[in-house]
Amino acid sequence: MAVSDLFNLKKQLVQYGSYHNNKANVAIHMIFVPTILWTVMVFFAKSGQVLAVPASAKWLKAVGPNAAFLATATITSYYAILDPIAAALYSPVLYGMLYTATQFQRTNPNANKIALAIHAISWIFQFLGHGVAEKRKPRLMDNFMQAMVSAPYFVWFELLFSLGYRPKLYKTVMSEVEQNVAAFRAEEAAKKSKSS
């Protein structure tokens, strides 16, 4: 994937959607991608404060600012490049998750153990969704970092699209996704017929 494609919303949605076209798998992702993101924020919040906070910005102390804050600010900026309106709508959700993850890390001595258990269970469901429902390996097998960064935004777009956001984009994306999935299925069928 070209670097310019990393900043092309349609291409990102088509790439991700091509691996998430089954309704059951999408539903699993709608639940467990945010759960995985939250647990990662809990792990990153363990860093403690990584930036000095001026007296005029004491509100920042509620979120460290820790490594989870820096990661959230980075992905929010990336999301804003892809679609500023969707990112603006998603930001309160992300920063709410950041706040709760940070507070959980600060107040629970077993935060990492609990988050790790939730994280592992969430991944199990994700893999079951791909293996049983989607019948296709997860995208992260092809591009781990890009899948990890784009997964939360893809899930957010699933919600936005279901509410009628950018219907032309949705139609274009789904058309290309269906073509990609059909090509994948045809390729898989050809492999099976060659091996028999």
- 99-103 long-range contacts (CB < 8 A, ≥24 apart) are 99/62, 99/63, 100/38, 101/38, 101/39, 101/41, 101/42, 101/44, 101/45, 101/68, 102/41, 102/45, 102/62, 102/63, 102/64, 102/66, 102/68, 102/69, 103/62
Residues 6+ apart with CB under 8 A from 176: 10, 14, 17, 18
* pLDDT digits 0-9 by tens, 160-178: 999 999 999 999 999 999 9
Quick one: 110 exposed, middle or buried, by C-beta within 10 A (0-12, 13-18, 19+)? exposed
* 91 vs 144: which has the higher pLDDT: 91
**Confidence class for position 1, pLDDT limits 50, 70, 90:** low
Residue 24 has pLDDT above 90, yes or no: yes
Average pLDDT score over residue span 56-67: 89
Confidence at residue 172, expressed as pLDDT on a 0 to 100 scale: 98
Average pLDDT score over residue span 131-160: 87
Confidence at residue 121, expressed as pLDDT on a 0 to 100 scale: 99
* pLDDT digits 0-9 by tens, 147-162: 788 999 999 999 999 9
Q: Fill in the DSSP letter of residue 9.
A: H
pTM listed for this prediction: 0.92
Rounded Cα gap, residues 133 and 25, in angstroms: 6
Confidence at residue 20, expressed as pLDDT on a 0 to 100 scale: 93
Q: How high does pLDDT run on average in the chain?
A: 93
